[in-house]
A and B are shown apart, each in its own frame.
Chain A
Amino acid sequence: MSQAAKIAAARMVLARAEMRAGIGDTTGGGWPVPSALAGVVPPLRAGLVNVVGSLSVVLALAGSASREGAWVAFVGMPWIGWEAARTHGISFERLAHIPTPRGRDADVLAALEDGFDVIVTGNIRINMHDERVLHQRGRQRGTTIIGTSWQTAKNVITARVDTAAGYDAGVGHLEEVRLTVQCGGASVPCRITERGLLPGPELMAVP
């Protein structure tokens, strides 16, 4: 075996060990995002991202991280539909649900940043200063915060519900909700279905 081949083999073994230990993913590329969004949304890195317009997209982002072993906490969201959350891949074994932080929002978030990989925030009240501190702390501890209305967030994912399909005038039932997800300059159509978030239907080109 040549020198180069030995080094390559050693690198491969190290990479595999890192993968198995779960550190290769988080330090380098961040948590993966659902395949339907992969084209427009970058992997979830430590920091802060705002998701506006669709809770399903939030659940799908958290769910695909949870599938990879991330610990997820929900703060201030008593209204989550857990069946939908499970559909999107959220593992209830690695989940903490804090329905209302009761005025201690900043303290609770700071405590969670020490132990959880992904924190999803809903109805919370924190001031600008605390936001900055938490954002910075999260980035250091390797925590991703998915929020809705953080003022300091630079990354924003916007979703718009277009139509629901599967029923008409009382006949049939809702089978999918079509939405458009936009991040940065790009946008992608997707569908919320029984099997989670899927890529949207191919649009026919306008002749």
Chain B
Amino acid sequence: MLGLFRGVVRVPDWPVAAAIASSLAHPEDTFAVCDRYVRAVSPAARRAGIAVGDTRRRALSLCPDLTIVDRDDDRDERMFTPVLDAVGEHVASHFLVRPGLVMFAADPPVATAGSPGALAEQLIGSVTEQALECQVGFACGYLASILASHDDRCIGPERTRGFLAGYPVGSVLLAAPDDRCRRDWAEVVDTLSGLGMSCLGDVAAVDHSDMISRFGRTGSVLWHLCNGADYTSTRRSDRVLEYSVSRHVEEISRAEQVAFLAKGLADELADKLARSMQVASELTVRARFDDRMERSRTWSIDGAGSARDITDRVRWQVSGWLDSDQELGSLIFLELTVSGLDAAGATHVSLFGDGRRAAEQAQRAVLRVQGILGDAGVQSVSIVGSRTPGTVTATENWSTSPARRTPDLPWVGAIPKPWPSIVFPTPPRIELWCRCGSVLYVSADNQLGCTACPDPGPGYLRLATPEEERPDPCFAQAACTYVGRVQVWNYAGPWCVSGRWWDAGGYRRAYLQCDVDGGPPALLYRSGVEWYLEGVYS
């Protein structure tokens, strides 16, 4: 029934220590870490009478010159990493209960150190290099070990029940892993005290089935904790960890040198990962160039954590930066960080080439292309719906998330389908003449009009020569399709389409389908006083 023999390293008032360590406050200051309530107080503030759990307003009324540091769980976790490392020097495997509280299975390290006292001494020695103070306690079971750490005690298995029995019921909240759990538990604790159970011993004496029938799962958990058993909902401390390696280098501007540097760093990183028996899912490459430019980019390396995979990605990325159009100068600093760590063996590569594997490969290929062309170089496409072929899609920088699905509802007044297979993003300008040879236009009542004859109809079209010196690829493509002045055999339309009248991108166009001599049919439109080629039914 009794839980595992555990050790707990506790740094009292960790949010305060974290705030000091990140230079937000001075140890002597009167300050408190608050959200709506006070979460932790500095020694000076405690002397002023402020207690954990006070409202912010009450704290300020007690001590008007109180410095308030906003609560930041990220900061607490981040600053705790060195402490975890210090614990890791003496203990092979440990759990992070919450920042400020580390738990480990005590039997093996105690055997190594000789006695609990000796281990505690070593731990305190290492941890106090990183934090102001630290307490170590040993006991059987989850709650008992946490309580033992508050008194710096080592409780043997046979004395566990007696040790727990004397504590007030509220102390069980110390074992709550997160705020939500704490709230749930606090309700039950309130009820229990209302029922006249003031000590943990009282709760332990109640029958287990009664606790379950009255308080459900929470009751069961609390009963086990009060009996010195384990409660297993811990987070692995590894999750907050990341590994990084960095190097300052003489100016590097050649791809071969980059490859060499990348290899060295990647080997170092892969070695670190291998020694800690972990695999990473993300790699961040950060580089500084001699014009004080900094670039960083995160790669997904799921299932590809070998030194060679890391080298490849670093090489692609850094060569991409060095070759890019922006003048970054040469490389002077490179840092690689892996994060999203998980125990090796937890991820697995599927046996058959299923969809996931194909998706991973494609993702990798796209990342590599993005390394060459920049993020905007690869686009993903989604249909957003529209009346005209030119505005029907939205493109955005490539992502693996599934494209937005829009209901396939008809658009009233849309250009009749099928739509052209070639749609120019920048429609080239064309010239369109009536059969009689004079200029063709679309009148206000949406009819074709001709300046010279009473029976207007398109007769010839020709691509207008662009004004720019270097025409864009759309014009080139269109010029291959329609060479010179071509005859129009047949036509449909015009249809009037207007849209976006409510903003600056508003348009009003008259569309025309034309069957062209010796080429695929064309979709034209007139906007203002010009004709444009929107697409080709190729």
Chain A residues engaging chain B, CB cutoff 8 angstroms: 17, 21-23, 53-56, 59, 69, 71, 73, 76, 78-87, 92-102, 104, 107-108, 111-117, 122-123, 161, 163-164, 166-177, 192-194
Contact = CB atoms under 8 A, between A and B. Distances in A.
Given A84-B418, A167-B491, A192-B418, A174 B362 contact: no
A107 B372 contact: yes
Nearest to A92: B403
A21 B352 contact: yes
Interface stretch (B53-61, B72-80, B213-221, B513-521): B513-521
B388 to A, nearest CB: 10
Interface string B471-497: 001101100000000000011110000
A84 B421 contact: yes
Given A71-B359, A84-B389, A104-B323, 18 more contacts: A17-B352, A21-B353, A78-B473, A78-B474, A96-B369, A96-B398, A97-B379, A97-B398, A101-B373, A101-B377, A108-B372, A112-B369, A114-B364, A161-B520, A161-B521, A161-B538, A164-B521, A170-B491
Given A83-B393, A101-B373, A23 B353 contact: yes
Interface of B: 323, 352-355, 358-359, 361-366, 368-369, 372-373, 377-383, 389, 392-393, 395, 398, 402-403, 416-425, 448, 457, 473-474, 476-477, 490-493, 513, 515, 519-521, 535-538
Would you call the interface of chain A mostly helix, strand, loop, or mixed?
A: mixed
A138 B380 CA distance: 23
Chain B contact residues, majority secondary structure: mixed
A9 B229 CA distance: 54
A64 to B, nearest CB: 15
26 contacts: A55-B538, A59-B421, A73-B365, A80-B422, A81-B419, A83-B383, A84-B418, A87-B418, A92-B381, A93-B402, A97-B381, A98-B379, A114-B361, A115-B364, A116-B362, A123-B477, A164-B513, A166-B492, A167-B492, A170-B448, A170-B457, A172-B492, A173-B513, A174-B416, A175-B416, A177-B521
Contact of A83 (B364, B389, B520): B389
Nearest to B511: A173
B141 to A, nearest CB: 48
Contact of B380 (A78, A95, A169, A176): A95
B490 A169 contact: yes
Contacts of B368: 111, 114
Nearest to B448: A170
B538 to A, nearest CB: 4
A94 B504 CA distance: 34
Given A55-B538, A102-B373, A177-B537, A82 B381 contact: yes
